[in-house]
Structure 1
Amino acid sequence: MKTTILIISLLLTVSLSAQNTLELKPDTLTVKINKEIYGHFSEHLGTCIYEGIYVGEDSDIPNINGYRKDVVEAFKELKVPVLRWPGGCFADTYHWKDGIGPKEDRPSIVNVFWGGVTEDNSFGTHEFLNFCELVGTEPYLSINVGSGTVQEAVEWVEYITSSNKSPMTDLRKKNGRKNPWNVKYWGIGNENWGCGGDMAPDYYANIYRNYSSYIRSNNYHKVICGPSGGDTKWTESILKGLEGKTHLAQGVSLHYYTLPTGDWGSKGSSTEFKEDMWFATLRNTMYVEDFIKKHLAIMDKYDPEGKMKLIVDEWGTWYDKLPGTKEGFLQQQNTVRDALVAGINLNIFNNHADRISMANIAQIVNVLQSVILTKGHEMVKTPTYHIFKMYNVHQDANLIPIDLETENYEYKGESIPALTASASEKDGIVSITITNANPNKEIPIDCQLRNDFKSVSGKIVAGKEITDFNDFGKEEKVYISDFTVGKTKNGELKIEVPAHSAILVQLQ
């Protein structure tokens, strides 16, 4: 009887291991993972810009021309490839001429969308674009379509990019910038189905055509405002409105926020949760892959050559605000759960890199699923920061197609894939990132590599508890550490992926 039980136990163990397999298919490396997939988003919201990025030259917080020195260094370390600005909903009331010229002459503006606060426009076009140059990131600008005009948009593009003799070029030079900036990415409108004007899709498509036709350069990557989540009707309508004119848009945006409850009223706490909210969050974030496939199918219908790319320029977790923080500032903490959300989404985006050319997590500092938190002189790198840093090996690497077979993570009658993964090759190094959504168990996976490698190394982002986060004045609980990986044998590598973790395995 004992022998029978032992045999059954061994068979179950073998069966369990066998169902978790990752096969690399490096025969054709034709798709590049654009570095811009690892992009970020900065909006005039809460303390993202003021206090988070910009404190002014007179601040006693160490700064470089008013930009927080610690944040500048952290962004350089992270290799931030592209940064979206000035919104978001804020962009729909932003008039760029209010934010240029001598700071003392700039008019104030009331931020009607986020907290009703008054700001002095001391951070405007020059400050943003100079910041991008300082940290080595590409700017991605959102044009005000909701309350703006075509003329205002065209003049902004001319002010920033023109080297010709013109009134806007002269104005830029008068304000201290002789040479134009090189800005490639332009979003024409933002959430025009909502805060960007509450427009019908066919109406917006015509407005987009009008704006885009006046922003003429072939060097620009122009983005049409796409859907929220799974709204395929919006996608169908705007692309139908571009029928025969798809050259006017090089990208279609998609916004999708992960809410644990799925309810915009009570979204759940960012720090106080149990396995039910852990499971719900990861389940809900995985929906994005289905949305991506559905929107790409519609894009293929109107753009069969695939020239238009999908731009996921707002994504991330959204919880209830932290107790004691201001309404409309969207301040939340960032735990191991958010690290898994980031890892899962980046794996999904990588695997669709043939059609996704950019993604921008919301938002870069102090707002929603930020990579940085600041408070006075202090700065914290969140678990999401460490995921982006660990994953940045995929930036501009060649995507390696994979076949992933994974067991499910089951909770109270529901299930999701326990593992997600993506792989790439760059400079002779193969990088594989894997997430384990199961908070309770380590999961074995057999990686079929086809070749043996001389060098194998690993990194991991994890915490002891799923609610662990990094806080001011305390040692980090969630960070990148070394992860022990065995040697390859006969073209295979066996890995034990710890519970609630994301790992990086590199082979050379």
Structure 2
Amino acid sequence: MNPIKHAVATLCLIAAGGYAYAAPVSVTIDTTRPGPVINKNVYGQFAEHLGTGIYEGMYVGPKSKIPNTRGWRNDVIGALKEMHVPLVRWPGGCFADEYHWRDGIGAREKRPVKVNTNWGGVEESNAVGTHEFFDLAEQLGADTYVNGNLGTGSAQEMSEWVEYMTSDSKSTLAELRRKNGRDKPFKVDFFAIGNEAWGCGGNMTPRYYTDLYKQTETFLRAPKHLRPQIIASGGNDYDTTWTDMISREAKKQTYGISFHYYTIPTGKWEVKGAATGFKEAEWFSTLSNTLKIDSMIKKNVEVLDRNDPEKKIGFLVDEWGTWYDVEKGTNAGFLYQQNTLRDAVVAALNFNIFHEHADRVRMTNIAQMVNVLQAMILTDKDKMLLTPTYHAYHMYVPFQDATSLPITLKDNPQYSYNGSSIPEISASAARAKDGKLYLALVNTNPNQEAEVAVDVPGVAIKSVKGRVLTAPALDTHNTFQAPDTIKPVPFSASAGADGKLTIKIPSKAVIVVAVE
């Protein structure tokens, strides 16, 4: 090729954003127009009686050689406290609609042993019941979200459970709670009537469920200052019919409507894709599929804005996360999967989307906390490791109860693969409770770093300090032999002589920084 023509062609590619010398992505944060508060419960967790998610993963019993407090593992509880878990949902999930609360109270050795028909067909000892769950929440300092049994239960059963947990009277149920070791009422922050009523919770229609919901809610009586907020079981994916029906007909009785969406690399439930050993094609498809939740939220919010313009009803994504084929050699019903850098990027992308919809999205619960699906922690007997998803949650702690700030991205290139594209940079900003301005950035491109020029009109930015999470391989993960293979490291950048600040984000990375 003629050298001059080659140089011109190279310059054209650079101008088009084909190489690292493209103009920086412009990120502008408007501090003069604060938005809604990002509810701390957007960072909520989910603990279902599923596999080793509770038994062994968190609860080993008071007699275990693994150090514990009243049966709950000290190492796991300590790590979760460090992550500032704001809320825990329990006991399910599909398990909730076959769970009868009376099986989980009283002397443990006398509790009935059942079969967990949803997850692995294993024996359920009921060693973890109502009292143990609230002990977990109190050790964590977390709010509580109890899921009632509508599928095989009744309005009476749920009514009696709420009374057992919250009554400060001398009723028979309140006295039974005292006999079982708890004098004061439990603090039940949220109570859901059913779970996935469209599927494992009863294969109901929206009309039938809404009628049952209204009937059941009528009988959930508690002292006014101890009454939980009531949550309705909503839809999944792009189905808005549940949101529409509930928000029109049960508006006054409802704190929020639940919603479920799982990210699957292949988009096929039969063969979902592996948690490790994947190629760039599944890196891209996973990120592309997880970003679809934004349009799903928007469609449901449109319905809510029409039926509930006062914005009294929240949109609660109380099950979300990645779902892969289970690890070879494990019980298929236990949903145990490894957790990689890809999962941390997925988590951060979802956080940024939830922040954008903070006026409606007031709670989310990733599935699940320990040893199940996109877990924060993996255990093997007395061993424990923190996953990349755990580290993403820990990095985003400043966004809990922070005030969201409008953010504008310009010149954001597309990360393209095999003819499809997604935005290369995802960003979110907020003013935290400590008064500092925090910025979160995600680079979805696994092949090249990105430059971001940060501007806060009216503010002279001196530097940013925080942490970055990245790794050499797409599927970098921690193992029990090497538990610190991937973890955040310190990150900082300073303004140049011109007073402008440019951040270089590594490929496939998550960054959270305080702007100073």
| Matched ranges for 1:225-240 at <5 A | 225-240=233-248
SS in 2 for 1:459: strand
How far did 1:25 drift? 1.3
| Matched ranges for 1:93-492 at <5 A | 93-216=98-221, 219-240=227-248, 242=249, 245-405=250-410, 406-426=412-432, 427-450=434-457, 451-487=459-495, 492=500
Decide which of 74, 80, 92 is 1:75's aligned counterpart: 80
Output the TM-score relative to the length of structure 1.
0.96
SS in 1 for 2:332: coil
Q: Distance in 1 between matches of 2:118 and 2:379?
A: 22
* Matched AA of 1:235: T
Encode CA deviations 1:405-425: one digit per residue, 9 max, x unaligned.
Answer: 321100010001111111111
Q: Distance in 2 between matches of 1:81 and 1:374?
A: 22
Encode CA deviations 1:411-463: one digit per residue, 9 max, x unaligned.
Answer: 01000111111111122211111111111010112222121134521310111
Q: Distance in 1 between matches of 2:148 and 2:461?
A: 49
Determine if contact 1:458/1:485 at 8 Å carries over to the other structure: no
Q: 1:7 to 1:496 in 2, by over 3 A?
A: farther
How far did 1:19 drift? 6.5
Determine if contact 1:447/1:493 at 8 Å carries over to the other structure: yes
How far did 1:15 drift? 6.1
RMSD between aligned alpha carbons? 1.7
Encode CA deviations 1:136-188: one digit per residue, 9 max, x unaligned.
Answer: 11111001011111111011111111112211110100000001111111111
Encode CA deviations 1:76-133: one digit per residue, 9 max, x unaligned.
Answer: 1000000000000000000000000011111111100000111210100000001100
Output the TM-score relative to the length of structure 2.
0.95
SS in 1 for 2:304: helix
SS in 2 for 1:483: strand
Gaps of 5+ in 2: none
Q: Distance in 1 between matches of 2:26 and 2:219?
A: 51
SS in 2 for 1:356: coil
Q: Distance in 1 between matches of 2:6 and 2:221?
A: 73
Determine if contact 2:159/2:221 at 8 Å carries over to the other structure: no
Q: Distance in 2 between matches of 1:293 and 1:19?
A: 29
Percent identity for Structure 1 against Structure 2: 45
- The alignment covers a number of residue pairs equal to 505
Determine if contact 2:259/2:316 at 8 Å carries over to the other structure: yes
Q: Distance in 2 between matches of 1:329 and 1:263?
A: 19
How far did 1:12 drift? 5.6
* Matched AA of 1:140: Y
Determine if contact 1:32/1:353 at 8 Å carries over to the other structure: yes
Corresponding residue of 2:25: 20
Corresponding residue of 1:493: 501
Q: For structure 1, which segment, 212-221 or 469-478, has the greater mean C-alpha deviation from structure 2 after superposition?
A: 212-221
Gaps of 5+ in 1: none
SS in 1 for 2:211: helix
Determine if contact 1:449/1:491 at 8 Å carries over to the other structure: no
Q: For structure 1, which segment, 22-31 or 38-47, has the greater mean C-alpha deviation from structure 2 after superposition?
A: 22-31
Q: 1:237 to 1:379 in 2, by over 3 A?
A: same
Determine if contact 1:98/1:107 at 8 Å carries over to the other structure: yes
